[in-house]
Amino acid sequence: MFPEFREQIADMRANDRHFSRLFEQHNALDHEIKNLEDRRTPSLHTQIEKLKKEKLLIKERLYTMLKGCANGTAPA
């Protein structure tokens, strides 16, 4: 995720608790989605879509925080 921010992500994960928590949430959702998709059960489709939307919202927040730090502004 965001290879252009690799160093900044490492720094923010080490120094920003909020960012680190969001990053871990994103990874946990990614793992959960992959596990559900591997089951290939149609009844899980709605649950998978909900998790994907939640993951996307977190990814957008992480990106906003990264862009804010890259531009020298405070994270949102």
DSSP assignment letter at 56:
H
The pTM (predicted TM-score) of the whole model is: 0.80
d(CA 39, CA 46): 14
Helices (H), the chain: 6-15, 17-39, 45-70
d(CA 62, CA 43): 30
pLDDT for 42 equals: 75
**pLDDT tens digits for range 11-70:** 999 999 999 999 999 999 999 999 998 887 777 888 999 999 999 999 999 999 999 987
